């Protein structure tokens, strides 16, 4: 667009390789930002209060992570250094949206948001647990902060319902609680039902009916690894018309990945609104006390104790240490996938990339720090599984489009166009790479030089800007203030 010579912008990004996956723009351009919006994309020079010479850098829409359990400022710092500008808690969701938003407001390096938690709310709807959950929610609201003791008590209370069926007479209470969550700004419904195996097939199907009625996406961690868990949710989506996103198909599929990939994408090709994601690592991570490690886990997962790694120390487990830690509770890293499985799933341009990043801890799974740089550096650049433009679409445009029906804000994200939000990542394509591994503390990715969130820098010349907190809440369209 022509730009008047007298115009001056808040920020100018000069001489970068601007790449927009939606329009296909891939050219050297100058970008003018005013406030939190992109207002100029031009071939001619621009003038700004702050100017960045992006010569030799890819200027991309900020990366969007649909699956990030690390919802803290420290977790955000690792994500920002990995090029992420929006990180959302959609798989598990949260039990109380206003509480979550209040905790994050003013302390978010990048944009944040969450689904409403089906798992928590179904326990809350069980009469024998309602008073306990009410009490804990009220306590947290009164204190205005969640300490470790309160959080442990809350999860212990919620876990009390995981092996129980919810009587259908209490479905209306569950629907009412879910509906309130959507009106509070939830981005859909989080449904990781492998973690509450007592849930009936009827409850899950009725939940799909409810979600379809509300036009709210379901984000699911399927009932079990393999094919049948995928078939359940895909069938429910087709039968009800519900919007469905299946998280981490790699760890939910294991050696059945090709069947599941054909199942999901086949449904998509025939008109079902079903999408999926994978992360670029061969290990998973979860709580050792979860239902995934119920009796028979070795046969189901085709692994044993030595394939399980204790997060806090990095040690590989034995039968004795596994039983001790399971009684204690805590986070483990599970080495259970093969590289060829991961590469095959990432190679399909329709499979999005999401981190499943865990809450920050020094020895946490590296996916919370390196997912996006690893995908671009190791898979797109080094292994050439697809073009850079196709790779960028998987981590910016496609996640934004997945959310647009529930979150109108996302129509301005995942793109670099006039009027889009100034969520921008600039990186050296030849150098971008993850550095975090499965041993030792988390480390920042390399090659991400500048990150802008809502028109404010959070990474400058490869370094975090101390105290930058421009992240804003991403809210569902049903929000009522």
**pLDDT over 70 at 99, yes or no:** yes
Model confidence over 183-238: pLDDT tens digits?
Answer: 999 999 999 999 999 999 999 999 999 999 999 999 999 999 999 999 999 999 99
Q: Which uninterrupted H or E stretch holds 78? A: helix 73-80
Question: What integer is the mean pLDDT of 152-172?
Answer: 91
As a whole number of angstroms, the distance between CA 226 and CA 238 comes to: 19
Q: Tokens 């969450």 label which residue?
A: 114
Residue 151: pLDDT above 90? no
415 band by pLDDT with thresholds 50, 70 and 90 = very high
Burial of 205 (0-12, 13-18, 19+ CB in 10 A): middle
* 3-state class (DSSP) for residue 81: coil
Mean pLDDT of 9-18: 98
Mean pLDDT, the chain, integer: 95
DSSP notation for 373-442: HHIIIIIIIIS--S-HHHHHHHHTHHHHHHHTTT-GGGGGSS--STTSB--EEEE-TTT-B----SSSS-
Residue 481: per-residue pLDDT = 61
* Region 314-341 average pLDDT: 96
Q: Per-residue pLDDT tens for 256-308?
A: 999 999 999 999 999 999 999 999 999 999 999 999 999 999 999 999 999 99
Average pLDDT over residues 169-183: 98
113-123: average pLDDT? 97
- Is 316's pLDDT higher than 90? yes
For residue range 357-374, what is the model confidence (pLDDT) as tens digits? 999 999 999 999 999 999
- 4, with CB counted inside 10 A (0-12, 13-18, 19+), is exposed
Percent of the chain with pLDDT over 90: 91
* Structure confidence by residue, pLDDT tens digits, 237-258: 999 999 999 999 999 999 999 9
Instruction: Tell me the mean pLDDT in the region 413-438.
Output: 98
The answer to whether 291 and 194 have CB atoms below 8 angstroms apart is: yes
Stretch 307-324: mean pLDDT, rounded?
97
Residue 17 reports pLDDT greater than 70: yes
Q: Does 140 score more than 90 pLDDT?
A: no
Residue 176, token pair as written in the block: 């009412």
Place of tokens 């995934």: 292
Residue 158's pLDDT is 86
Residue 5 has pLDDT above 80, yes or no: no
pLDDT at 149: 67
DSSP secondary structure letters along 145-190: S--HHHHHHHHHHHHTTTTSPPPGGGHHHHHHHHHHHHHTT--SEE
> pLDDT tens digits, residue range 23-57?
999 999 999 999 999 999 999 999 999 999 999 99
pLDDT score, position 232: 98
Confidence of residue 1 (pLDDT cuts 50, 70, 90): very low
The answer on pLDDT for 4 being more than 60 is no
Averaged pLDDT for residues 101-130: 96
- For the ranges 46-50, 102-106, 414-418, the lowest mean pLDDT is seen at 102-106
């Amino acid at each position: 667009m022509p730009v008047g010579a007298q115009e001056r912008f808040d920020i100018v990004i000069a001489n970068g390789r601007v790449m927009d996956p939606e329009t296909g723009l891939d050219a050297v351009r100058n970008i003018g930002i005013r406030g939190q919006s992109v207002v100029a994309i031009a071939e001619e020079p621009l003038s700004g209060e702050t100017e960045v010479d992006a010569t030799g850098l890819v200027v991309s829409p900020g990366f969007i992570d649909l699956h990030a359990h690390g919802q803290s400022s420290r977790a955000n710092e690792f994500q920002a250094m990995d090029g992420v500008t929006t990180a959302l808690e959609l798989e598990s969701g949260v039990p109380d949206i206003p509480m979550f938003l209040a905790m994050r407001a003013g302390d978010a390096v990048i944009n944040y948001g969450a689904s409403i938690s089906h798992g928590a709310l179904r326990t809350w709807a069980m009469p024998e647990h309602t008073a306990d959950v009410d009490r804990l929610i009220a306590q947290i609201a009164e204190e205005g902060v969640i300490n470790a003791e309160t959080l442990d008590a809350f999860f212990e209370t919620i876990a009390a319902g995981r092996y129980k069926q919810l009587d259908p007479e209490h479905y209306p209470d569950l629907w009412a609680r879910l509906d309130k969550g959507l009106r509070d700004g939830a981005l859909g419904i989080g449904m990781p039902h492998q973690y509450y195996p007592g849930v009936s097939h009827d409850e899950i199907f009725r939940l799909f009916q409810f979600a379809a009625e509300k036009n709210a996406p379901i984000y699911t961690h399927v009932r079990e690894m393999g094919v049948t868990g995928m078939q359940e949710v895909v069938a429910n989506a087709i039968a009800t018309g519900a919007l469905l996103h299946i998280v981490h198909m790699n760890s939910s599929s294991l050696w059945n990945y090709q069947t599941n990939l054909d199942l999901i994408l086949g449904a998509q090709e025939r008109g079902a609104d079903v999408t999926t994601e994978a992360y670029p690592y061969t290990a998973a991570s979860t709580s050792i006390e979860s239902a995934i490690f119920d009796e028979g886990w070795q046969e189901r997962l085709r692994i044993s104790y030595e394939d399980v790694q204790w997060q806090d120390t990095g040690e590989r487990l034995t039968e004795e240490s596994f039983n001790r830690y399971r009684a204690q509770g805590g986070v483990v890293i599970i080495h259970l996938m093969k590289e060829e499985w991961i590469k095959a799933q990432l190679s399909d341009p329709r499979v999005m990339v999401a981190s499943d990043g865990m809450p920050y801890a020094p020895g946490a799974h590296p996916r919370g720090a390196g997912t996006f740089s690893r995908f671009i550096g190791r898979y797109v650049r080094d292994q050439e599984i697809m073009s850079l433009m196709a790779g960028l679409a998987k981590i910016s445009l496609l996640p934004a489009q997945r959310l647009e029906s529930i979150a109108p804000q996302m129509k301005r994200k995942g793109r670099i166009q006039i009027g889009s939000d100034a969520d921008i990542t600039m990186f050296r394509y030849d150098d971008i790479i993850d550095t975090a591994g499965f041993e030792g503390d988390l480390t920042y990715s390399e090659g991400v030089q500048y990150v802008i969130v809502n028109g404010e820098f959070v990474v400058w010349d490869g370094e975090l800007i101390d105290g930058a907190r421009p992240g804003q809440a991403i809210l569902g369209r049903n929000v009522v203030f």
